[in-house]
């Protein structure tokens, strides 16, 4: 499925365990955002697909709106509240489209 954010097109792709292992280089990744490809990869065989997608969409939103994502950057409570409030509509819209496409 494709979606747009900040005039950039992204793709959501469900993949199997072997392909996820190759991309993530581990056995426990449920979702992966690859910024250079503008893709979200989701592990097909999981119980929490929508939860994983929501998690990855937060990474996409942060990236597209210039919020640094590394372990040295710490967000304050106010920044976390603003990020959630600002990204909520975007995430819900993509989830609705995704659920419609996968029915």
**What residue ranges do the domains of the chain occupy?**
2-101
Q: Which residue has the tokens 């959630």?
A: 84
Instruction: Enter the pTM of the model.
Output: 0.91
Structure confidence at residue 70 (pLDDT)? 82
pLDDT value at residue 100? 94
Q: Residue-wise pLDDT tens for the chain (103 aa)?
A: 999 999 999 999 999 999 999 999 999 999 999 999 999 999 999 999 999 999 999 999 999 998 878 888 888 999 999 999 999 999 999 999 999 988 7
Closest CA to 32 of 64, 57, 61, 3: 57
Q: Report CA-CA distances (Å) from 87 to 15, 18, 59, 102.
A: 25, 31, 10, 23
DSSP result, 71-101: TT----HHHHHHHHHHHHHHHHHHHHHHHHH
State the Cα–Cα distance between residues 1 and 97, nearest whole angstrom: 8
């Amino acid at each position: 499925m494709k979606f747009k954010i900040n005039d950039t097109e992204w793709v959501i792709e469900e993949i199997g365990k072997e392909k996820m292992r190759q991309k993530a280089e581990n056995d426990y990744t449920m979702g992966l955002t690859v910024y250079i490809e503008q893709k979200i990869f989701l592990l097909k065989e999981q119980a929490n697909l929508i939860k994983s997608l929501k998690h990855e969409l937060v990474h996409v939103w942060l990236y597209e709106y210039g919020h640094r994502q590394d372990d040295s950057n710490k967000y304050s409570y106010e920044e976390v509240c603003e990020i959630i409030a600002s990204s909520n509509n975007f995430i819900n819209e993509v989830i609705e489209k995704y659920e419609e496409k996968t029915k």
